[in-house]
A and B are shown apart, each in its own frame.
Chain A
Amino acid sequence: MGEGLKLRLKNFRGIKQGTIKLEKLTILVGANNSGKTSLLEALFLLPNPLRVVPYSAEGGRRRAVEILSARHSTLGSEAYIFLYHNYSGEEARISLLTADSTSAEAIFKREGDWINVFTAGKRGIHLLGKLSAKSAEIKPETMPLQGSFDAQRGEFLPSRRLTVSTSNYVQEEVGEVLYLHPRIISLAWNFLLDTWIELRATGLMVRVAEQVSQWIPGEYDDVLVEPFTRGRYAIYLRSKSGHVVRLGDVGDGIQLAVTLMLLYEYIRPRVLAIDDIESHANPMLLEGLTQWIGEVLDQGTTVVLSTHSLEAVKTMAGALEDYEPRIVLTSLREGVLDTRSFTLEDVERLEEAGIDVRLAEGVIL
């Protein structure tokens, strides 16, 4: 994904409408419920909402949209209408815009009790499948349909049935997006367990363990999967002395960091979207994560983060200033997204006026 792109949302999740400019490193700040998570989730779905992602929810559900559904379900209330702003409207759209055109879109179009999911790009539009508006059911198209929208009839008109899937071309254009939120790391562990043999072959566990050793007391040399009780498996960190500790038993910040690094190394996404990067992170871990994100940026990955911590903003934007980070204050008023982009210098100058950028919504927007 190149720089200077814009992400535009229409009727998606918390955002009725709004656009945000994405830079190589974008740090989202703003009040609770100001649209930060909706933006990150939109990025996550954009390449293909029905693609399989490195998470596994109950029932073996592994599609991007299923993971978001599981993350947001309340008392098991899973139905894909949650994708729509205020659970209403006919259409929701996530669009990636270049300076002169729309480069890729994910479109959710309601048709009775079903929501048709399309992906659209320079090479046309494809129907990927249907999501139930009333349950967790999904009907993926095994052979995605190519066609066009009839604007007058408001219908998708298939032009021909393809013999091979072409749905991934948008995915290829956008690239893979890895999204991480502290509340879905347990879903990532399910995935890691399923793909353990493959993961071990890459040797990345040793690298991750060594990295973690720099952030917490104790020297770790490997990440393992072994039985814990009654044949149930667990992921462990192994110390050089041979002692093992379950990943679930180490500090929450380390759980997040280890999971993030394992997923990143495995997926090698083009975009990394991390929600609440500072959660559970001591300044030492935050510093370590900052260095690691620097390496991710070096590899050409676009990084979009959200945080509520001014310390995290300053640590990351300061240490990674070579990437010209932008700190974007978000605000939602009646569903309309408003943003203002700052440099770290702007943020520090605002502090000279005694104003904390995170609290500046009403003063600046």
Chain B
Amino acid sequence: MNLRVLTPPHWSVARSLLKWSRRLRVQLAGPHQPVREVILIGNGIPDNIVAMLLAHKLNGRRAVGLAKPPGALSAALRELIFQSLIRKVLLLFDQEDRSLNDAWRSLESELCRAKMEYRILSDEERLRVYGCRHGSRQLRVIAVVNGLEAPYRKHTIEDHLLKICEKLRIYEAPLLHSAESLDPKELWSRLKEHHERVYRYILQASVEELKDAFHHHLKALKLVLEDANSCR
């Protein structure tokens, strides 16, 4: 699938995506294709790059939107359900320093704030599918909590990128006791000169090869691609 950036082009999330799509020669979708699924990212960069690269792995010409809500997720979901034809949302958000349960609770309270009735359709650790309803309108929210069981003080999309770094021997995973104070964002930022190599690897590796780093993300993207009727 190809991403269609829906955020204003001058926002950093759109600018960086355009930069990397050009550098890595990943095609983005044109303006006229209908978009009925959207990826909402909670944290901007590099979540946007990861979304673009993984989406590109799944073949097909389907255009999928990518947006970064600047404010509350509840407001974003409410606008999507009322103003757009979007009926399936893939939500990628960081676990941060809270427990996985707390991350899910936080998401569910956003669904409540958006005044949506919801039920969990499937649940597997870091991937949940919610069937949401607001009056007669329905939305399927496929949510992935970014993070791996790595020994960092918080868990973010960078956990996954650092896993690739380990694989490429760019970086050696820290020992449990020494890593508890490490921030994966800082670590990833320090490896700036290797970013392109990591992105290229993600682009060129097979889906199978990426499963240990992006198992839930890939599964979620496949769910996005499933027939839109399945969300009704």
Please give the residue numbers on chain A whose beta carbons come within 8 Å of chain B beta carbons, in ascending order.
31, 310, 331, 333, 346, 349-356, 359-365
Q: Which of B73-81, B121-129, B157-165, B191-199 lies at the interface?
A: B73-81
Provide 27 A-B residue pairs closer than 8 Å at the C-beta atoms, listed in order of the A residue.
A331-B32, A350-B79, A352-B70, A352-B71, A353-B67, A353-B76, A353-B79, A353-B80, A353-B83, A353-B84, A354-B70, A354-B76, A355-B7, A355-B79, A356-B7, A356-B9, A359-B5, A359-B8, A360-B84, A361-B31, A361-B32, A362-B29, A362-B32, A362-B33, A362-B34, A362-B63, A364-B84
Beyond the given A355-B6, A355-B67, A356-B8, could you list 4 further A-B residue pairs with CB under 8 A, ordered by the A residue number? Answer: A350-B84, A352-B75, A353-B84, A354-B76
Contacts of B65 in A (CB 8 A): 355, 362-363
Docked CA distance A353–B67 (Å): 7
B1-31 residues with Cβ-Cβ distance < 8 A to A are 4-9, 13, 29, 31
Q: Say yes or no for B69: interface residue by CB 8 A criterion.
A: yes
Contact A363 B35 (CB under 8 A): yes
Cβ–Cβ contact B35 & A362, under 8 A? yes
* B86 interface residue per 8 A CB criterion: yes
Residues in B lying within 8 Å of A, measured CB to CB: 4-9, 13, 29, 31-35, 38, 40, 63, 65, 67-72, 75-77, 79-80, 83-86
Do the beta carbons of B75 and A360 come within 8 Å of each other?
A: no
Closest beta carbon of chain B to A159's beta carbon, Å: 46
B63 touches A354 (CB 8 A): no
Given contacts A31-B31, A362-B35, A363-B38, contact A353 B8 (CB under 8 A): no
Q: How far is the CA of A365 from the CA of B35 in the complex (A)?
A: 9
Complex interface: chain A residues within 8 A of B9 (CB):
356, 359
Q: Known contacts being A359-B4, A362-B4, A362-B63, is A349 close to B83, with CB within 8 Å? A: yes
Instruction: Please classify the interface of chain A as helix (H, G, I), strand (E, B), loop, or mixed, using the class held by over half of its residues.
Output: helix
Of A31, A354, A359, A361, most B-chain CB atoms within 10 Å: A354
> A117 CA to B32 CA in the complex, in Å?
34
A265 to chain B, nearest CB (A): 35
Give Cα A179 to B215, complex, Å.
Answer: 57
What is the minimal beta-carbon distance from A44 to any residue of chain B, in angstroms? 26
How far is B67's CA from A356's CA once the two chains are assembled, in angstroms? 9
* Cβ distance B125 to chain A, nearest Cβ, rounded Å: 27
The answer to whether A355 and B84 touch (CB under 8 A), given A349-B75, A360-B6, A362-B63, is yes
Residue of B nearest to A31 (CB): B31
Instruction: Report chain B residues within 8 Å CB of A362.
Output: 4, 29, 31-35, 63, 65
Closest to B14 in A: A356
Nearest Cβ distance between residue B40 and chain A, in whole angstroms? 7
Bound: A361/B76 CA distance, A: 18
Q: Considering the complex, give the chain B residue whose CB is closest to the CB of A346.
A: B83
| A residues less than 8 Å from B76 (CB atoms) | 352-354
* A residues less than 8 Å from B77 (CB atoms): 353
What distance in Å separates the Cβ of A336 from its nearest Cβ neighbour in chain B?
A: 12
A363 touches B8 (CB 8 A): no
CB-CB under 8 A from B35, the residues of chain A are 362-363
Residues of A within 8 A of B29 (CB): 362
Residues of B within 8 A of A361 (CB): 31-32
Complex CA distance for A354 and B86, rounded to whole angstroms: 13
- Which residues of chain A come closer than 8 Å to B13, judged between CB atoms? 354
Chain B residues, Cβ within 8 Å of A360 = 6, 84
Question: Contacts A359-B6, A363-B38, A363-B85; is A354 near B31 (CB within 8 Å)?
Answer: no
- B residues in contact with A310, CB < 8 Å: 8
Asked if B83 and A354 make an inter-chain contact with CB atoms under 8 angstroms apart, the answer reads: no
Q: Which residue of A lies closest to B5 (CB)?
A: A359
- Do B32 and A363 touch (CB < 8 A)? no
Name which residue of chain A comes closest to B29, CB basis: A362
Q: Which residues of A contact B63 (CB under 8 A)?
A: 362
Contact partner of A353 (CB less than 8 A), chosen from B5, B33, B75, is: B75
Q: A198 to B210, alpha carbons, bound, how many Å?
A: 76
Contacts of A365 in B (CB 8 A): 85
- A172, chain B: closest CB distance, angstroms: 40
